[in-house]
C-alpha cells in the first residue's frame, strides 16, 4: 500500500478529541495525504463511515441536531491538525447500546443489532487486512448471518480471519479490487472537477454540501462502503474546503 494511504487507521489518528465518543458512532476506513493527488499539498484527510447504517437514512429522524454540514446521510467535521472533530450534537445518532454475549437473550431493535453487525464486520475485515495485507476479496456467503434476530450477531462475532481466508475464491471481487484507484478508491478527483462532471457524479446523494458563499464544496473522491462493513452505503463521498477547514462525508445508495 502507498505510504500516503492508511487503511483502517486508528481512531487516535483520525479524530482530534473525544475519541471514545467518535468510537461509538464512526468507522475509520481510509486516511490519505493530499500529496497523493497534489504533490504541493501536505494534508491528511479521512474517509469514514458510521455504524448505524441499516434502514433509511442516518439521522433522518433527528433534524433538530442538524448543522450546515451534518444532515441526513451527511456528516460534517472540523479539520484540526489533520484530524476530524464531529460538528454536531451526539444526539444526532440513534444507536449506541452495548450488546455483550451474556445479553444475547435480551430483546434489541434491528437497528441496535445492525449497529453491532457493522462494527463486528469492520473489526473482522480490519484484522484480515492487517494479517494478509489486502482487502478481503473472497465470497462471503453465509446465510446464517441473514436471520432476523440476534443470532446473526452472535454468529458473526464467532468468525475469525482464518475463516475468511478459507472462503471460496471470487474472481469477480479480485477483479473489482484490482480496478480501484490505488487499490482503494472508486474515484479520486485529481483535477478537482465539479462533481457533476465526474464519473461518480453523486446523482443519488441527498444533498451536495456547499461552502459559506454558496459554491459547491470541492469533491475529493469516493470509495465503496461494502469493503468495510455489513450494511453499507454503496459509495462514501468526501468533500473538503481548505479555507474553512471543513470535511464532509456523504453516503450514496444506488
Where do we find the cell 454558496? 214
In sign, the C-alpha dihedral spanning 142, 146, 152, 157 is positive
For residue 14, give the H/E element and its range: helix 11-14
- Interstrand relation of 44-50 and 235-241 (parallel, antiparallel or unpaired): unpaired
Report the first-to-last Cα separation within the chain, whole angstroms.
29
Residue range 179-193: mean pLDDT, rounded:
93
pLDDT in tens, 206-249: 899 999 899 999 999 999 999 999 999 999 999 999 999 999 99
pLDDT in tens, 156-176: 999 999 999 999 999 999 999
User: What whole-number distance in Å separates Cα of residue 38 and Cα of residue 186?
Assistant: 18
**pTM score:** 0.96
Contacts 24+ apart (CB under 8 A), 208-212: 208/239, 208/250, 209/69, 209/74, 209/76, 209/239, 209/248, 209/250, 211/241, 211/243, 211/244, 212/244
Instruction: Phi first, then psi: give them for residue 84, nearest 5 degrees.
Output: -100, 145
What is the radius of gyration, based on Cα positions, of the chain?
Answer: 18
Task: Note the pLDDT of residue 5.
Answer: 96
Residue 187: how many other CB atoms lie within 10 Å = 19
User: What whole-number distance in Å separates Cα of residue 48 and Cα of residue 45?
Assistant: 10
User: What whole-number distance in Å separates Cα of residue 41 and Cα of residue 31?
Assistant: 15
3-class SS string, 101-166: HHHCCCCCCHHHHHHHHHHHHHHHHHHHHHHHCCCCCCECCCHHHCCCCCHHHHHHHHCCHHHHHC
Task: Note the pLDDT of residue 30.
Answer: 98
Amino acid at each position: 500500500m502507498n505510504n500516503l494511504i492508511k487503511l483502517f487507521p486508528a481512531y487516535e489518528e483520525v479524530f482530534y478529541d473525544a475519541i471514545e465518543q467518535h468510537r461509538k458512532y464512526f468507522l475509520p476506513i481510509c486516511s490519505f495525504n493530499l500529496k497523493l493527488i497534489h504533490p504541493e499539498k501536505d494534508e491528511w484527510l479521512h474517509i469514514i463511515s458510521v455504524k448505524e447504517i441499516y434502514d433509511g437514512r442516518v439521522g433522518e429522524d433527528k433534524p433538530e441536531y442538524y448543522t450546515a454540514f451534518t444532515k441526513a446521510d451527511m456528516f460534517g467535521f472540523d479539520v484540526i491538525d489533520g484530524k476530524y472533530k464531529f460538528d454536531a450534537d451526539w444526539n444526532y445518532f440513534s444507536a449506541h447500546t452495548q450488546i455483550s454475549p451474556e445479553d444475547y437473550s435480551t430483546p434489541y431493535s434491528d437497528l441496535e443489532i445492525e449497529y453491532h453487525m457493522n462494527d463486528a464486520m469492520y473489526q473482522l475485515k480490519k484484522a484480515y487486512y492487517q494479517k494478509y495485507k489486502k482487502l478481503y476479496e473472497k465470497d462471503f456467503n453465509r446465510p446464517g448471518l441473514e436471520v432476523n434476530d440476534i443470532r446473526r450477531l452472535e454468529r458473526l462475532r464467532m468468525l475469525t480471519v482464518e475463516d475468511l481466508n478459507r472462503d471460496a475464491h471470487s474472481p469477480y471481487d479480485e477483479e473489482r479490487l484490482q480496478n480501484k484507484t490505488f487499490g482503494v478508491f472508486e474515484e479520486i478527483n485529481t483535477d478537482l472537477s465539479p462533481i457533476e462532471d465526474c464519473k461518480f457524479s453523486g446523482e443519488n446523494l441527498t444533498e451536495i454540501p456547499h461552502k459559506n458563499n454558496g459554491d459547491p464544496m470541492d469533491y475529493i473522491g469516493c470509495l465503496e462502503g461494502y469493503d468495510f462493513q455489513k450494511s453499507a452505503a454503496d459509495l462514501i463521498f468526501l468533500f473538503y474546503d481548505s479555507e474553512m477547514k471543513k470535511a464532509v462525508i456523504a453516503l450514496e445508495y444506488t
